[in-house]
A = this chain, B = another copy of it.
Amino acid sequence: MKIGELSKKSGCSIQTIRFYEKQGLFEACNRSEGNYRIYDASSLRALRFIKQCRSLDLTIIEIKQLLDTKNNPNKSCSSVNNLIHQHMVDVTHRIAELEELKITLSEMASACTDNRKVKECGVLQLLEE
């Protein structure tokens, strides 16, 4: 299969696939006579793995580490478990930050509900502080 088909089947854009290859995340595949990339079912599986990881917001470097780990089937998987755990901690932290931000924004918003003139705007006044 050529890159366009892989793109449709995986849901990754063509540029993204080539980008992953350049980053060393997605193995460089065979080429046709005309220098077209030729993929098979295992390419699709590999790409879906990457997509799953990205949907968890793993960075490219982290995904590389996972792929490295996958290549040593008899080693301990603790690094995998730790990575996921650490991500959960980070996400929890980020949620807390955004909740705080939301409160601040809502205080801002309630400082000027009606339309006033700019010089009387409660939002701008809060921002000046």
Q: Please give the residue numbers on chain A whose beta carbons come within 8 Å of chain B beta carbons, in ascending order.
A: 45, 49, 52-53, 56-57, 66, 69-70, 72-78, 80-81, 84-85, 87-88, 91-92, 94-95, 98-99, 101-102, 104-106, 108-109, 112-113, 115-121, 123-124, 127-129
**How many copies, total?**
2
* Contact with A88, one of B73, B77, B105 (Cβ below 8 angstroms): B105
Q: A101 touching B57 by the CB < 8 A rule?
A: yes
Secondary structure at chain A's binding surface: helix, strand, loop or mixed? helix
In angstroms, Cα B78 to Cα A57, docked, is: 36
In angstroms, Cα B98 to Cα A7, docked, is: 26
Q: B113 touching A81 by the CB < 8 A rule?
A: yes
Q: Which residues of B contact A85 (CB under 8 A)?
A: 109
Q: B57 touching A112 by the CB < 8 A rule?
A: no
| 4 closest residue pairs by CB, A with B | A77-B121, A73-B119, A88-B105, A78-B115
In angstroms, Cα B123 to Cα A69, docked, is: 12
Q: A73-B119, A75-B118, A95-B102 are in contact. List 6 more A-B contacts (CB 8 A).
A: A52-B127, A56-B105, A80-B112, A84-B105, A84-B109, A88-B109
Q: A101-B91, A102-B95, A105-B84 are in contact. Are A115 and B56 (CB under 8 A)?
A: no
